[in-house]
Structure 1
Amino acid sequence: MTMDYGIVVPQGWRMDLVGIADPAEAYEAMTRVAREAETLGFHSIWLYDHFHTVPVPTQEITFECWISTAALARDTQRVRIGQIVTCNGYRNPALLAKMASTVDALSHGRLNLGIGAGWYEHEYRAYGFPYPDTGERLR
Structure 2
Amino acid sequence: MVATDIPTRIGVQVSPQHASFQQSLDAVRRLEDMGVDMVFNWDHFYPLSGEPDGLHFECTTQLAAWAQATERVELGPLVFCNSYRNPDLLADVSRTLDHISNGRFVLGIGAGWFERDYVEYGYEFGTPGSRLRELKDAMPRIESRLAALNPAPVRDIPVLIGGGGERKTLRIVAQHADVWHSFAGPDELQHKLDVLAQHADDVERDISGMVVSNGASVRQGIGGLGVERLDALHALGTRLITVSISGDDGPGGYDVEQVRQFLDWRDAKNA
Percent same amino acid at aligned positions?
37
In 2: Cα distance, 1:58 partner to 1:92 partner = 27
Deviation at 1:55, TM superposition (A): 4.2
Deviation at 1:6, TM superposition (A): 1.0
Aligned residues: 128
In 1: Cα distance, 2:101 partner to 2:51 partner = 31
**Amino acid in the other structure paired with 1:5:** I
Structure 2 CA distance for partners of 1:37 and 1:89, relative to 1, 3 Å = same
Classify the secondary structure of the residue corresponding to 1:114: strand
In 1: Cα distance, 2:23 partner to 2:38 partner = 17
Q: 2:36 matched to which residue of 1?
A: 42
Structure 2 segments unaligned to the other structure (5+ residues): 1-5, 135-271
In 2: Cα distance, 1:55 partner to 1:118 partner = 17
TM-score (norm 1): 0.86
Deviation at 1:58, TM superposition (A): 3.4
Instruction: Please report the RMSD computed on the Cα atoms of aligned residues, expressed in angstroms.
Output: 1.5
In 2: Cα distance, 1:73 partner to 1:37 partner = 13
- Segments of 4+ in structure 1 off by > 2 A? 54-59
Classify the secondary structure of the residue corresponding to 1:105: helix
Q: Structure 1 residue aligned with 2:9, among 1, 4, 16?
A: 4
- Which has the higher relative contact order, 1 or 2, with Cα contacts under 8 A spaced 6 or more apart? 2
Deviation at 1:10, TM superposition (A): 3.7
- 1:68-122 deviations in whole A, cap 9, x for unaligned? 0011000101000011110000111111111111001110010111111110011
Structure 1 segments unaligned to the other structure (5+ residues): 18-25
Which has the greater radius of gyration?
A: 2
Higher helix share: 2
**Amino acid in the other structure paired with 2:13:** V
Deviation at 1:57, TM superposition (A): 6.8
Q: 1:23 matched to which residue of 2?
A: none
**Amino acid in the other structure paired with 1:112:** V
